[in-house]
Amino acid sequence: MRISLSWLISLVLLGTWYVPPRIFAERILFNPQQKAQLQRVETIFVKAVALTEKGLVDPILIERAAADRLTATGFTVITAESKPHDVVLKVRCDERKPWAGIRKSDGEVQQSGAPSRNWKGPACRLSYFFDGQKGPWQYEIRTPFDNAWEAAKAGGHDDAGQFALQHLGQALRESNFPLDLAAEWKQAERLSSFLTGPKTDKATKFKILSLAGHVPGDIMLQALQQIRTEADFAAPATVALGFMGEPAIPTLLDLLSDPSVDIQAAAAEALGEIGAHSGNVGILPPLLAMMQAPDIHLRVQTEIVRAIGKMPDFQSVEPLQQLALKAWTDRSNDPLMQELREAVDWSLWQINPTAHTEAGY
């Protein structure tokens, strides 16, 4: 049987270009109007399902736990679908998880709490529906144990399913899923008010700082500048400023001269983040000048070197080569010195892959 060359080429091209539609459906994109509506979501209808090895059971425990947690974050919760609501939050809890989802990413910042492919034990999977379609967000809450039957037996309980659901309900009450939802919906005002609120506990504030990159803009920038004045949050808030873009540059440049080594290092890390995404090489001169300061701390120097490598520019090559020669000829066994050596090599490679060999060290 003879196959024509043109037909063979057509088959190859078909195999090359055809991609199953489901791959593109992994991330559902809302239009600008829908995104604006999500930023204003206030009322949520919670729809819970609870499933054990014996079958469906009353989900009231799960429903109440999710509702209480949402209410504590300022949302209004209803449990009757007939009442007006902005979003439907679906909570499915299983004694043994039958499905493993993909890990969700919004393109820049990885969302916490995403489903694990490896977990097969008791789990609650959360998703939302808005404007007639399922949102791209997925969240998974798990028990401390991966085998409900063994854990129930060890605790003297006869019903493994109810035992698992009780623990899942407690995990829901302790979860930060409403904060992740607020970040998914870009609700900067809600997150910022909790971040700066005097009654917000430390753990919640640290969680919001980890989510700040999802809601860049003036509202979060102001909140970060405010919370940064509190000692416990100064360093992580400074790092988070790096996700606010170029408007944060003046503050971060000032913080390079802060008396604290932690703050200096955090400011350098944040400037590197901004430079990597904005391409603003105007950040380089002050970083290069500080990098060569005789009294600079090794940790700060290393963060500056890494930041410089994130915004490749040939003006950085010679100063980095000089620092590389100094670092690699230093006989110090200090782990911080080794980190600096590796950082210099990495940054030189980012700017010019042959630069480190040309340095002659």
pLDDT for 158-176, tens place per residue?
999 999 999 999 999 999 9
pLDDT of residue 80: 87
pLDDT of residue 361: 54
Decide the pairing of beta strands 76-78 and 139-142. unpaired
pLDDT of residue 279: 87
Q: What is the pLDDT of residues 292-341, one digit of tens each?
A: 999 999 999 999 999 999 999 999 999 999 999 999 999 999 999 999 99
Give ranges for CATH 1.25.10.10 in the chain: 245-361
pLDDT of residue 118: 81
- Round to whole Å and give the CA distance between 124 and 140: 6
| CA-closest candidate to residue 48, choices 64, 28, 26 | 64
pLDDT at position 3 over 80:
no
pLDDT of residue 66: 96
pLDDT at position 14 over 90:
no
- Asked whether 114 and 103 are in contact (CB, 8 A), the reply is yes
User: Cα 66–69–71 angle (5° rounding)?
Assistant: 105
Give the pLDDT band (50/70/90) at residue 149: very high
Give the pLDDT band (50/70/90) at residue 21: very low
SS3 256: coil
**Residue 165 burial (CB < 10 Å; 0-12/13-18/19+)?**
buried
Yes or no: domain 28-183 corresponds to CATH 2.40.10? no
| CA-closest candidate to residue 140, choices 190, 191, 93, 208 | 93
Share of the chain above pLDDT 90, in %: 78
Share of the chain above pLDDT 70, in %: 86
Give ranges for CATH 3.30.160 in the chain: 28-183
User: Cα 23–26–29 angle (5° rounding)?
Assistant: 120
Pick the CATH number of 245-361 from 3.50.50.60, 1.20.58.100, 1.25.10.10, 3.40.50.300: 1.25.10.10
Give the pLDDT band (50/70/90) at residue 41: very high
